[in-house]
Amino acid sequence: MFNPPSHPIIIEKREHMKLYRWKTLGDYDPEQCFLDAAPKGLGARSAHLSHGKPVTALYPEDPCVQLSEENPGIRLESFIGNTKRMLVVSSPLRAVLEKWCQEQDIEYLPVHIYNHRGRLHTSDYSIINPLGTLDCLDRERSHVEMMKDVVLSVERIVLSPAKLERAPHLFRVREDPSVYVVSESLAEALRAGAFTNVVLEPMEVAPA
């Protein structure tokens, strides 16, 4: 589904769906700003940003990301799509997330985006890093490949209503921390805010 710049948030509707997956690629448009790197200085630990592990103590003083020639777009949206499975959001979008996620353990990390010529393009964005994960899968209906206690792959995610009674508005799936789950209430708040390039995909929930 194509989301033109003037269109607000995309929420793909499906009956009885109450939880959504935040797609970190966004709704790709070659004219949009798109990141294929994490902030310099984190090295291999940049994977913490997609796994829900804390990075505050490791975070660089100048958390810069430079746009690559492979992705020439420079147009800024509320959410910046990326290949690193990060939540990169504008200041207004961050403010909404802070309001809805006040009781959660989340890192809000500034990021400075430089253009293709190495000049500062914007410093008005942050990486949102929800810490930890939630045991939320219906393991009988989900398809998770394991080797002993190690998850090898997650082919299908089916959420368990019984495990979601006290779920926060934004959380990660334990078996695949790079999957960000958004509550129905937060999804509606994001839609009401008319934020651009936020793509929420309905998730499968097992019968109660």
Residue type, 206: A
Largest Cα separation within the chain, whole Å, is 54
What is the predicted pLDDT for the residue at 67?
A: 97
Measured CA distances, 84 to 45, 105, 191 (Å): 12, 21, 24
Residues 82, 135: contact at Cβ < 8 Å?
A: no
Pick the range with the lowest mean pLDDT from 4-18, 50-64, 81-95, 124-138.
4-18
CB neighbour list of residue 142: distance below 8 Å, 6 or more residues apart: 154, 156, 157, 158, 175
CB neighbour list of residue 140: distance below 8 Å, 6 or more residues apart: none
* Side-chain half-sphere exposure of 160, counting CA atoms within 13 A: 13
Q: How far apart are CA 35 and CA 84, in angstroms?
A: 8
Domain ranges for the chain, please list them: 10-205
Structure confidence at residue 18 as a pLDDT band (50, 70, 90) = confident
Give pTM, 2 decimals: 0.89
Is the pLDDT at 46 greater than 50? The verdict is: yes
What is the predicted pLDDT for the residue at 15?
A: 46
Q: How far apart are CA 37 and CA 168, in angstroms?
A: 28
Percent pLDDT > 90 in the chain is 81
Question: Which has more pLDDT, 205 or 17?
Answer: 205
